[in-house]
Chain A
Amino acid sequence: MSNALPPDLIRLVVSLAVVVGFAFANAAVLVLVERKVCGHIQRRPGPFEVGPHGLLQTAIDGLKLMGKQILVPDNADTKLFRLAPILSFVPPIAALIVVPFAKVLQVRDLDIGVLFILSLAAVNVLAILVAGWSSANKYSLFGAIRAVAQNVAYEIPLLLSLLVVVMWVGSFRMSDIVAAQDGFWFVFTPMGFVAFLIYFVTGLAETNRAPFDLPEAESELTAGFHTEYAGMGFGLFFLGEYTNMLLMAAIATTCFLGGWNGPWFLAVSGTGVVATLIQLCWFLVKVYGIILVMVWIRWTFPRVRFDQLLNFCWKVLIPISMANLVATAVVAKLVPLG
């Protein structure tokens, strides 16, 4: 009798383990990719000595971080200080639950999928605020203040650009959004393209990556909100940041690039093992393509100043995304989605 363990619970636990493992592996690979890309853009090889071509560098770094003492500053709010890294790390992992990696590779197909992800992604700001506030350090606090001001501005065009897709599909459900892009991807429509660009820019700001990495601006605020964190506290912030990147890229893939759909001549829509693997490959190729562009952007552009960032958001992104939304509404009314 397996009544003691409901199959749904087993499914959840296994999925959680897989998702957490994936998040850790993703962070380890991305840190290495980031450093390698950075190095090659600067005409140097990046990490090279640990393992062949430095492949084991992040593994060793992770071990080092785990071995370090976790320090809490004297005046810090200890409880909040300890809470912040967890708050930064858990929500993006929880949000991965609704991401459709393939037609059947989705832990929960919530009918509020997009909202669920966005609300969890917004917790990241809270984590940064808590970290900056509890550190009792002016640089940390500056970082936190910047993060909050930046995200208040950037949530709006982010939501508006995703609303274009939601309006088009008529559903918040991730699987519906993917299914609606069977024939054509939204990025190839004019409105979809503009929304994708806006989403991409605001996604960079949402994940606090350069050129919008004001909350942790190394040259101005030492390390911003995580200045006082050592060891695995810092490690969890890093994990959270890279999982957030993964999440942002996954949403972009799902909403604009057709999710697990391949190009029309290579599309596989079955639910078998082989079909699932092919769909997973397509999904991961798109996700890591987007992440690679994010890394590329980080090592190309200098950090924007705060007023530039807010001006750009309020004067360019929000009006354009508004206009885009209106245009989508009109077109969706006139042309019923086939």
Chain B
Amino acid sequence: MIRYFQEIFSGLWSLLVGMRLTARMAVAPTITTHYPFDTLEITPNFRGHIDLVINPKTARDKCIVCMMCQRACPSGCISLKGEKPEGAKKKVLTEYHLDFTKCSLCGNCVETCPVNALEYSRDYQLAGFSRHEFHFDLVDRFRQRAREQGLDPKVGDLTPPPPKPPKPAATETAPDASGSTDG
């Protein structure tokens, strides 16, 4: 008999404890974001689609056109092209296409890049009306983003590099070092 009433009272008490908790939650400030009007700050570890890293000093990309990213991509959504300017030793990136409709955001391309030329974009508002809007031209995006940062983008720049001065001592005697290479 005592246990019967004990059970009733302890049950009643636990209900009141629960109600006190929800009452406290009800008067606490809300923690949701009114999405289209307010947006959350995207943290640096957000894994969006890939973008080319901008070197802020030279306004160039870091890509060496080694094709590692294209090979690493399990979905085959990366295609890129590079050209070697006359007289240069390294290739220069001219085209970088990402087919985001196929991308699974695995990040293998970023992991595998030997020169850290790729990064994750923090862009998440990616709704579109046709699949063609998701074939990204990353070189084009690079130019836009660089201009937004106030840089003059030098991507796909095929002007030949200036010839290296033969010796440090000879630099003073060569006044016009530029524009000396021609086919």
Contacts and interface: CB of A to CB of B under 8 A. Distances in A.
Contacts of B32: 43-45
A224 B19 CA distance: 27
B10 to A, nearest CB: 13
Interface in B4-55: 8, 15, 18-19, 21-23, 25-32, 34
A249 to B, nearest CB: 17
Contact of B22 (A39, A41, A44, A48): A41
A316 B11 CA distance: 12
A265 interface: no
Query: Interface centre among A37, A41, A45, A299, by most B CB within 10 Å?
Result: A41
A289 to B, nearest CB: 14
Contacts of B26: 37, 40-41, 296
B15 A301 contact: yes
Given A301-B15, A316-B8, A44 B25 contact: no
Interface string A111-124: 00000000000000
Contacts of B27: 40
Categorize the interface residue count of chain B. Answer: 10 to 19
Contact of A42 (B15, B25, B29, B34): B25
Interface residues of A, number: 15
A17 interface: no
Contacts, number: 36
A122 to B, nearest CB: 27
A35 to B, nearest CB: 13
Nearest to A45: B30
Interface string A259-303: 000000000000000000000000000000000000011011100
A299 B21 CA distance: 11
A89 to B, nearest CB: 30
A155 B65 CA distance: 80
A37 B26 CA distance: 7
B30 A44 contact: yes
Contacts of B15: 301
Contacts of A297: 19
A41 B30 CA distance: 9
Contacts of B28: 43
Given A296-B19, A297-B19, A300-B19, A41 B25 contact: yes
A316 B10 CA distance: 14
Nearest to A38: B26
B31 A43 contact: yes
A43 B29 CA distance: 7
A301 B12 CA distance: 12
A140 to B, nearest CB: 31
A40 B18 contact: no
A127 B56 CA distance: 73
A335 B15 CA distance: 35
Given A45-B30, A296-B26, 5 more contacts: A42-B25, A43-B32, A44-B30, A44-B31, A300-B18
Interface of A: 37, 39-45, 48, 296-297, 299-301, 316
6 contacts: A41-B22, A41-B25, A45-B34, A296-B26, A301-B15, A316-B8
Interface of B: 8, 15, 18-19, 21-23, 25-32, 34
